[in-house]
Chains A and B, each alone.
Chain A
Amino acid sequence: MATVSSKTPAATGELKIIKDATCTFCGCVCDDIDLSVQDNHIVKAQRACVLGKAWFLNHEIEDRPSCLIDGKPASVEDGYQRAAEILTAGKYPIIYGLSDSPCEAQRVAVSIADWIDGTIDTTTSVCHGPSGMAFQGVGEVTCTLGEVANRGDFIMFWGSNPAESHPRHFSRYSLMPKGMFTPNGRKDRTCVVVDVRKTKTAKTADIMLQIKPRKDFEALWTLRALAREIQLDAKLVKRETGIELAVWQDLMDRMKAAKFGVIFFGMGLTMTRGKHANAEALFALTRDMNAYTRFVVKANRGHGNVSGADNVVTWRTGYPFGVNHNRGYPRFNPGEYTTSDTLARGEADCGMMIACDPMANFSQPAREHLASIPYIALDAKETPTTRAAAVAFTVATYGINTGGTVYRMDDVPIPLRPAFDSPHPSDFEILTAIEIRVKAILRAREREK
Chain B
Amino acid sequence: MKISQGTIYDPANGVEGLVRDLWISNGKIVEAPTDSSMKPTREIDAQGLVVMPGGIDMHCHIAGPKVNVARKMRPEEKRKDEVIHRTQNMHSGTMGSVPSTFATGYKYAGMGYTTAFDAAVPPLGARHAHEEFADTPCLDKGFYVLMGNNHYVMQSIKQNEPQKLKAFIAWLLTASKGFAPKLVNPGGVEVWKHKQAGNVHGLDSLVDHFGVTPRQIISQVAQAAQELRLPHPVHIHCNNLGMPGNWETTLATMEALEGRRGHITHIQFHSYGGGDGDENTFNSKVVPLAEYVNSHPNITVDVGQVLFGETTSMTGDGPLGYFLSNIYGGKWFSSDTEMEGGCGITPIKYKNKSLVHALQWAIGLEWYLLVKDPWRVVMSTDHPNGGSFLAYPQIIRFLMDRTYRQDVLKTCHPLVGKRSTLVDLDREYTLNEIAIITRAGPARILGLKHKGQLGVGADADITIYTPHENKETMFELPRLVIKSGEIIVENGDLREAHIGRTLHVMPEYDVEVETYIQEWFEKYYSIQWRNYPVDASYLHNPKIISG
By secondary structure, the A interface counts as mixed
The answer to whether B335 and A318 touch across the interface, beta carbons within 8 angstroms, is: no
Given contacts A114-B92, A318-B93, A412-B124, contact A150 B196 (CB under 8 A): no
The answer to whether A328 and B336 touch across the interface, beta carbons within 8 angstroms, is: no
A408 contacts which chain B residues (CB < 8 A)?
Answer: 527
Given contacts A145-B526, A146-B526, A414-B531, contact A315 B75 (CB under 8 A): no
The answer to whether B336 and A296 touch across the interface, beta carbons within 8 angstroms, is: yes
Given contacts A316-B135, A415-B535, contact A287 B332 (CB under 8 A): yes
Give the distance in Å from the alpha carbon of A330 to the alpha carbon of B330 in the complex. Answer: 25
Report A346 CB to chain B, min CB distance, Å: 26
The answer to whether B530 and A314 touch across the interface, beta carbons within 8 angstroms, is: no
Q: Which of B93, B124, B337, B528 contacts A330 (CB under 8 A)?
A: B93
* One of B24-32, B94-102, B364-372 at the interface: B94-102
A330 contacts which chain B residues (CB < 8 A)?
Answer: 83, 92-94, 100
Interface membership of B128, Cβ < 8 A: yes
* One of A135-143, A361-369, A387-395 at the interface: A135-143
A135 contacts which chain B residues (CB < 8 A)?
Answer: 72-73, 333
How many A residues touch B, CB cutoff 8 Å? 69
| B residues 85-133 touching A (CB-CB < 8 Å) | 85-86, 88, 91-94, 96, 98-103, 124-125, 127-128, 131-132
The answer to whether A413 and B322 touch across the interface, beta carbons within 8 angstroms, is: no
Task: Write the B206-225 contact mask toward A (1 if CB under 8 angstroms, else 0).
Answer: 00010000000000000000
Give the distance in Å from the alpha carbon of A414 to the alpha carbon of B525 in the complex. Answer: 13
The answer to whether B528 and A143 touch across the interface, beta carbons within 8 angstroms, is: no
| B residues 119-176 touching A (CB-CB < 8 Å) | 124-125, 127-128, 131-132, 135, 151
Give the distance in Å from the alpha carbon of A195 to the alpha carbon of B135 in the complex. Answer: 42
Interface membership of B463, Cβ < 8 A: no
Interface membership of B193, Cβ < 8 A: yes
B100 contacts which chain A residues (CB < 8 A)?
Answer: 314-318, 330
Give the distance in Å from the alpha carbon of A407 to the alpha carbon of B86 in the complex. Answer: 28
| A residues 1-43 touching B (CB-CB < 8 Å) | 19-20, 22, 31-32
The answer to whether B131 and A138 touch across the interface, beta carbons within 8 angstroms, is: no
Interface membership of B513, Cβ < 8 A: no
| A residues 131-187 touching B (CB-CB < 8 Å) | 132, 135-147, 149-151, 172-173, 179-181
B332 contacts which chain A residues (CB < 8 A)?
Answer: 138-139, 141, 287
B88 contacts which chain A residues (CB < 8 A)?
Answer: 442-443, 446
The answer to whether A136 and B71 touch across the interface, beta carbons within 8 angstroms, is: no
Given contacts A115-B86, A146-B524, contact A413 B131 (CB under 8 A): yes
Interface membership of A294, Cβ < 8 A: yes
Report B539 CB to chain A, min CB distance, Å: 13
Give the distance in Å from the alpha carbon of A316 to the alpha carbon of B102 in the complex. Answer: 7
| A residues 315-337 touching B (CB-CB < 8 Å) | 315-320, 325, 328-332
The answer to whether B72 and A310 touch across the interface, beta carbons within 8 angstroms, is: yes
How many B residues touch A, CB cutoff 8 Å? 65
Give the distance in Å from the alpha carbon of A141 to the alpha carbon of B69 in the complex. Answer: 12
Q: How many A-B residue pairs have CB under 8 A?
A: 193
Q: Which of A117, A146, A294, A415 contacts B196 (CB under 8 A)?
A: A294
The answer to whether B531 and A141 touch across the interface, beta carbons within 8 angstroms, is: no
Interface membership of B265, Cβ < 8 A: no
A329 contacts which chain B residues (CB < 8 A)?
Answer: 83-86, 92-94
The answer to whether A331 and B79 touch across the interface, beta carbons within 8 angstroms, is: yes
The answer to whether A332 and B75 touch across the interface, beta carbons within 8 angstroms, is: yes
Q: Which of A150, A314, A443 contacts B338 (CB under 8 A)?
A: A150
Interface membership of B334, Cβ < 8 A: yes
Interface membership of A244, Cβ < 8 A: no
- Residue on A nearest B132 in the bound complex, by CB: A315
B132 contacts which chain A residues (CB < 8 A)?
Answer: 315
Task: Write the B251-263 contact mask toward A (1 if CB under 8 angstroms, else 0).
Answer: 0000000000000
The answer to whether B530 and A19 touch across the interface, beta carbons within 8 angstroms, is: yes
Q: Which of B92, B103, B325 contacts A325 (CB under 8 A)?
A: B92
The answer to whether B73 and A139 touch across the interface, beta carbons within 8 angstroms, is: yes
Given contacts A19-B530, A314-B71, A329-B85, contact A141 B92 (CB under 8 A): no
Interface membership of A224, Cβ < 8 A: no
The answer to whether B72 and A316 touch across the interface, beta carbons within 8 angstroms, is: no
Give the distance in Å from the alpha carbon of A311 to the alpha carbon of B65 in the complex. Answer: 9
Interface membership of A88, Cβ < 8 A: no
The answer to whether A139 and B331 touch across the interface, beta carbons within 8 angstroms, is: yes
- Residue on A nearest B335 in the bound complex, by CB: A142
The answer to whether B68 and A147 touch across the interface, beta carbons within 8 angstroms, is: no
Give the distance in Å from the alpha carbon of A294 to the alpha carbon of B86 in the complex. Answer: 44
Interface membership of B360, Cβ < 8 A: no
A53 contacts which chain B residues (CB < 8 A)?
Answer: none
Report B103 CB to chain A, min CB distance, Å: 8
Task: Write the A115-140 contact mask toward B (1 if CB under 8 angstroms, else 0).
Answer: 10100000000000000100111111
B94 contacts which chain A residues (CB < 8 A)?
Answer: 317-319, 329-330
The answer to whether B86 and A325 touch across the interface, beta carbons within 8 angstroms, is: yes
The 3 closest A-B pairs by CB, nearest first: A146-B338, A318-B94, A146-B526
| 19 sample A-B contacts, Cβ–Cβ < 8 Å, listed by A number | A22-B531, A111-B91, A114-B92, A117-B86, A136-B331, A139-B346, A144-B526, A146-B527, A287-B332, A294-B193, A294-B198, A316-B101, A318-B99, A318-B103, A319-B72, A320-B72, A329-B92, A408-B527, A414-B531
